[in-house]
A = this chain, B = another copy of it.
Amino acid sequence: MEFEESGIGEECGVFGCVAAGEWPTQLEVAQVLTLGLVALQHRGQESAGVVTSNGASPPIYTSHKGMGLVSSAFPPEALLKLRYGNLGICHTRYSTTGMSELQNCQPFVVDTLHGRIAVAHNGELVNSRALRKKVMRHGVGLSTCSDSELITHLLALTPPMEELDSPDWVARIKNLMSETPTSYSLLIMFKDVIYAVRDPYGNRPLCLGRLVPISRLHSSGAEEEDTEGWVVSSESCSFQSIGAKYYREVLPGEVVQISRHGVKSLSFVPRPEGDLPAFCIFEYVYFARPDSIFEGQMVYTVRQRCGRQLAIEAPTDVDLVSTVPESATPAALGYAQQSGLPYMEVLCKNRYVGRTFIQPNTRLRQLGVAKKFGVLTDNFAGKRVVLIDDSIVRGNTISPIIKLLREAGATEVHIRVASPPIKFPCYMGINIPTKEELIANKPEFKDIAGHIGADSVKYLTVEGLLSAVQEGVTSFQEENNSKRVGHCTACLTGKYPVELEW
C-alpha cells in the first residue's frame, strides 16, 4: 500500500557527501547529492533541500530548496548554482504538522559566532517541547516549528560562544546528545567537514558509503586510495545509484567526522545502563527500500523471513499465495516458499492513477482503491487465495481489494499480515494515524475478517516479527553495549524506549 492509502509514513531522509582528496574536486558533488536524494525519495515527497560548501576559509555555502519531488524541485539551474560544492548535505521531507511551507524545508542553515552551520535531521526529538522553551527562555526566537532549527540553536547555546578560534563542535554535539536521548540521525556541516550523528538508541538509520571509480565499483579488492568521496545516507539503497560501495553503519550513539581525509569515529555517547538499542522495527516491515541494508542484513531478506514465519504461525489451506503489490511481495514469496503453495500474481497496478488529481465523482468513489488495480482473473478464478499484506493500518484499503477478488471469482480470500497490529502512536519520527483511526483499536477489530470481508485474517506475532528481524543482525555497537540487540516496537506494544517528554 502506498502512503496515501496506508496513512503511515516516514518523515525524512538525509544524505551527505564529501569529495576526497584535493579541492576543487573533480567529483560533481551536487549531482551525487541530488541523485542520492532521489534514491531516498520514498522517505519524504513533500520538499527537498541541498546545501553545499566549497570548504574554504571562510566557506561559501550555497543552498537550494523546493517543494515536491526532487525531480521537480531541482531544475537544471539549481544544479548549476550548486556546482562549486566540495561537500554538502541534503534532506527530503514529509511534513506531519501541515506546515508544508518552503521555510520549513531542511537543511537548516544559520550563522553563528563561529561561522555558518547547516543541519539535516531525520527523527523527532521526544522532548522538543521542553527544549523549545529552554532556548526561548534564553531569548532566542524560533522562526519555524522544525526540530532542525531547535537543534542548531541548542548547538550554538552550549557551551556559550566566545570569540575563540575553534568552536569545538564535538563538545557541542555531545552536549546536545546529553539533552535529548532520541530520536535523531543528524548531519551537521561546518566549513569542510560533516558530522554524522546517530542517537544512543539508534532509532533512525544512518550508514556510510565510499565513492569509487565506476570501473572498480564491483571489484572486491578496491584499495582506499581509489576513494573519490565519502557519502552518508539514511539508507544504503542510495549507494547503488551513485556508484558507491557500502562501508558501514553509523552506530547508536556514535559521532562520525567525514572530511576529505576520510571517515573518523570521534565519540560514543552511551545509553543509560541497561537500556537496549531501539532501532525502529517498521523500517524493516514497511518503510525502507528492500535493497537497503540495516544491522548487516538486507531488508528484502528480513521481509521474506517474516513471510516464512507467518506461514509457520498462520498456515492456510488454499490453492495459491499472492501479494498486494508491491511492498508485500517478498513476504508473499517467503510465505509461498515455506508453505509449498504456488505463488501467483492476482493484481496489477495502474502506476499512473496515483498521480492524477482528477477527483472521482460520487459514483467512482465507491470503487475506492480498487480503481488502482487490474485483476488478473485467469490466475485465480475458481480458486482459494491467501493474500499477504505487509501491514493493515486503517483497514479501508484491503476491504475493496478482497471484494474485487471475490467478485472476479476467488472462492476464498484469506488475509495474512506480515506484521502485528499497529495500536500505538509513534513520537519518534513516523507519521501514524491517531489511535482512534487505527483499525486495531476499533471495536470491529474483534471480527476483523467479517469487517473486511475475508474468510480469515491472521497477523504475525510480535515475537515472530522480532525473531525474523533479529535472526540476522550482525552489526553491533562497538563500545559499551556490544552484542546487545534491541528494536523499538512501540507502535505495536506501547513500550517506548524512553519516557516521553523526557
Contact = CB atoms under 8 A, between A and B. Distances in A.
Given A39-B350, A376-B290, A161 B139 contact: yes
A379 interface: yes
B240 A358 contact: no
A367 B214 contact: yes
A230 interface: no
Contact of A345 (B103, B300, B370): B300
A163 B137 contact: yes
Contact of A139 (B102, B160, B361): B160
A359 B237 contact: no
A75 interface: yes
Contacts of A228: 363
Interface string A407-435: 11000000000000000000000000000
Contacts of A341: none
A343 interface: yes
Interface residues of A, number: 109
B352 A38 contact: yes
A42 interface: yes
Interface string A73-101: 01110010000000000000000000001
Interface stretch (A141-149, A191-199, A278-286): A141-149
A76 B291 contact: no
A137 B109 contact: no
Contact of A348 (B113, B290, B377): B290
B157 A139 contact: yes
A111 to B, nearest CB: 4
Contact of A41 (B38, B152, B298, B352): B352
Given A38-B352, A143-B108, A360 B137 contact: no
A488 interface: no
A496 interface: no
Contact of A136 (B112, B141, B217): B112
A247 interface: no
Contact of A352 (B71, B117, B300, B378): B71
B290 A374 contact: yes
Interface in A45-76: 63, 65, 69-71, 74-76
B367 A34 contact: no
Interface in A284-305: 289-292, 297-298, 300-301
- Chain copies in the assembly? 4
A394 interface: no
A330 interface: yes
Contact of A35 (B109, B158, B358, B378): B358
Interface string A120-156: 0000000000001100111111110100010011011
B376 A300 contact: yes
Given A142-B111, A157-B139, A378 B243 contact: no
Interface of A: 27-28, 31-32, 34-35, 38-39, 41-42, 63, 65, 69-71, 74-76, 79, 101-103, 108-113, 117, 132-133, 136-143, 145, 149, 152-153, 155-158, 160-163, 213-215, 217-218, 228, 237, 240-243, 289-292, 297-298, 300-301, 329-330, 333, 337, 342-345, 348, 350-353, 355-361, 363-364, 366-367, 370-379, 403-404, 406-408
Q: Top 5 nearest A-B pairs by Cβ distance?
A: A291-B374, A218-B407, A110-B141, A71-B356, A139-B157
Given A34-B358, A42-B352, A70-B352, 14 more contacts: A31-B364, A38-B358, A70-B358, A74-B358, A117-B141, A136-B161, A139-B140, A141-B152, A143-B149, A143-B152, A215-B366, A242-B371, A243-B364, A330-B345
